[in-house]
Amino acid sequence: MRNVKASPTTTSHWQKLTELHTQYQSKSIEQLNDLTAKHGQCVDAAGLSVDLSRNFVNQEILDELVALAKTQGMAEKIQQLIAGEEVNNTEARAAHHTALRLPDSAQTRADVSETQQKIKALAENLRNKSWRGSNDTEITDVVNIGIGGSDLGPRMVCNALSSMATQGPRVHFVANIDPRDLETVLQGLTPASTLILISSKSFNTTETLENALSARSWLLEAIPQNDLSKHVIAVSSNVEKAVAFGVDADNILPMWDWVGGRYSLWSAIGLPIAIAIGYKGFRELLDGAHAMDEHFATAPIESNLPCLLALLEVWYVNFCNAHSSAVLPYSHELGLFPDYLQQLTMESNGKQVHKDGSPVSSRTCPTIWGSAGTIGQHSFHQLLHQGTELIPVDFILPLHSHSDEQNKQAHLVANCLAQSKALTEGKSEAAATQELADSGLSDAAIAELAAHKASPGNRPNTIIAMDKLTPSNLGALVALYEHKVYAASVVWDINAFDQWGVELGKQLSTPIFAALTGADSAEDDSASTDKTTAFWIKRFTQ
């Protein structure tokens, strides 16, 4: 039976928000948005400044969204998350990633403290060259083999903080089972100076294990078997299988059921980060996230940044008919951030049932996409400005760069601010007509071109700024979006911490793989013998 009480669509606030959208939909953002009167230009927390002034919302709408959140038990459910209570009901687990970010002085979990000390020791030994490979060779390269949460988070952070990776081994990432991924990374490396880091909770993930086996074979072509333990370490809960693979038991770091994969970069999965930028930088990343945790846990909903961003998402998806959202970091170093957010957001909230299993009666997670500015301006920004879809935009803006080329940074900031302004204000057909007339075109040419040059504007966008991209600010940014995802799931009453949809494809791939490799007959397995699949199996095996 449907849990009517948990469904947001049955609340009076949902009905009121529907009425408010009808009432205000003809207004422009400039006419409607009055948030700066109460909140100022920005809402600040944990080193981030968030400018909400170009969103299609006013205080009346925001108050109703906040009331909806309160009806859905937002404050209580935030505390349940922070306290490590069971919030993942389908797997009977906590989602206690915030515990990994507590300051050392406040850490109550001995297993976390012990693991963090192990991360520190391993990272420092590799960075100070005391970890030696076969024939006492210096380790110059570390290859992280993982997929999903064991890859996207640390890969994104290492890329974002690459300006700090000036000492220690180079860190590489391999995720795809496509053989060219691993082969391309290993081409320029030497086995004796390479360390393989295998990140897999079960030590049984197909992509990771296949790549790890190939990497081990590559190592053993050049080093003796008894030196293998000098070149392989692991992050896994399956110690027995990792040891059988050739990893020394002392070089296996744990994973815990209470930390989900897409929330795991703060755990031992973040070891590549500590290796790349040093443990001090890794600790600063945790501290920045903890500062956002404190804000999320203590700020009232109406000034709580993750809650505000979540409520705006609910407003745009459920009342303004937005189907996707773009995240545009105006920082080359944050180029992988949209990829990371795709997993964080869509694997968490891409759900069709409430927590009790009853069908949702509204749309949930939007599609998340984007790329680094200004690159996107020369590819898909046309759609944002003149397309027929409403696509809310988050601009991520480090105001200052680690580069000495401040003129280029000024260009970058100028482009970000210009895009935000253009999306909001647009250009009327009358303004386009005047602009064309001023350029000396004929009346006929003006009549032909004016409509093409006009932009409707009224495209909502948020600027999330920081002074500079540092480990602390990046930690706060990631935690901001983690908590935004959870807050949205609370409003929709869905489980943000499972991913059962991912499992079906995994299950179906096993018999298909057997048919492709001749290990089983396709005719004997109905899972792989539908007409379309059978056609492609035959095509592959011919």
Q: In this predicted model, what pLDDT tens digit does every residue of 330-374 receive, in sequence order?
A: 999 999 999 999 999 999 999 999 999 999 999 999 999 999 999
* pLDDT of residue 318 exceeding 70: yes
Question: CA 163 to CA 221: how far, in whole Å?
Answer: 34
The pLDDT, as a whole number, for residue 104 is: 87
CA atoms within 13 A on the CB side of 21: 15
Name 86's bridge partners.
Answer: 94
Note whether 315 and 57 are within 8 A (CB): yes
Note whether 355 and 493 are within 8 A (CB): yes
Question: Model's pTM, two decimal places?
Answer: 0.96
Mean pLDDT of 460-472: 99
Question: CA 461 to CA 394: how far, in whole Å?
Answer: 6
What average pLDDT does the structure give for the chain?
96
The pLDDT, as a whole number, for residue 107 is: 84
Which amino acid appears at position 196 of this protein?
I
Whole-Å CA distances, 297 to 79, 398, 487, 504:
7, 25, 12, 35
Q: Is 105 helix (H, G, I), strand (E, B) or coil?
A: helix
Phi, psi (5° rounding) for residue 318?
A: -95, -20
Per DSSP bridges, beta strands 86-88 and 93-94 are antiparallel
Mind listing the pLDDT tens digit for each residue in 205-255? 999 999 999 999 999 999 999 999 999 999 999 999 999 999 999 999 999
Which amino acid appears at position 373 of this protein?
G
The pLDDT, as a whole number, for residue 6 is: 78
The proportion of the chain whose per-residue pLDDT surpasses 70, expressed as a percent, equals 97
The pLDDT, as a whole number, for residue 392 is: 99
Mind listing the pLDDT tens digit for each residue in 473-530? 999 999 999 999 999 999 999 999 999 999 888 889 999 999 999 876 545 555 557 9
Mind listing the pLDDT tens digit for each residue in 93-141? 999 999 999 998 888 889 999 999 999 999 999 999 999 999 999 999 9
* End-to-end alpha carbon distance in the chain: 51
Question: CA 21 to CA 323: how far, in whole Å?
Answer: 17
Mean pLDDT of 281-291: 99
The pLDDT, as a whole number, for residue 524 is: 52
Scan for tokens 């027929």, then name that residue. Answer: 388
Scan for tokens 């609370």, then name that residue. Answer: 490
Which amino acid appears at position 122 of this protein?
L
Those residues whose C-beta lies under 8 Å from the C-beta of residue 218, and which sit 6 or more positions away, are 186, 191
* pLDDT of residue 92 exceeding 80: yes
The pLDDT, as a whole number, for residue 527 is: 53
The pLDDT, as a whole number, for residue 5 is: 59
Neighbours of 167 (CB within 10 A): 11
* pLDDT of residue 3 exceeding 50: no
The proportion of the chain whose per-residue pLDDT surpasses 90, expressed as a percent, equals 92
Whole-Å CA distances, 419 to 278, 393, 414, 425:
36, 10, 9, 10
Closest by Cα among 402, 404, 333 to 373: 333
DSSP 188: T
Mind listing the pLDDT tens digit for each residue in 20-61? 999 999 999 999 999 988 889 999 999 999 999 999 999 999
User: Which has the minimum average pLDDT: 145-154, 180-189, 521-530?
Assistant: 521-530
Mind listing the pLDDT tens digit for each residue in 411-460? 999 999 999 999 999 999 999 999 999 999 999 999 999 999 999 999 99
Note whether 161 and 336 are within 8 A (CB): no
* pLDDT of residue 2 exceeding 70: no
The pLDDT, as a whole number, for residue 4 is: 43
Whole-Å CA distances, 38 to 54, 303, 461:
15, 10, 19
Peptide bond into 374 cis (omega under 30): yes
DSSP, residue by residue, 264-319? -TTTGGGHHHHHHH-HHHHHHHHHHHHHHHHHHHHS-GGG-HHHHHHHHHHHHHHT
Which helix (H) or strand (E) segment holds residue 474: the answer is: helix 471-492
Question: CA 288 to CA 272: how far, in whole Å?
Answer: 18
* pLDDT of residue 398 exceeding 50: yes
Which helix (H) or strand (E) segment holds residue 172: the answer is: strand 170-174
* pLDDT of residue 143 exceeding 70: yes
Active centre residues (catalytic): 347, 378, 506
Cα radius of gyration rounded to whole Å, the chain: 26
Closest by Cα among 141, 108, 91, 110 to 254: 110
The pLDDT, as a whole number, for residue 316 is: 99
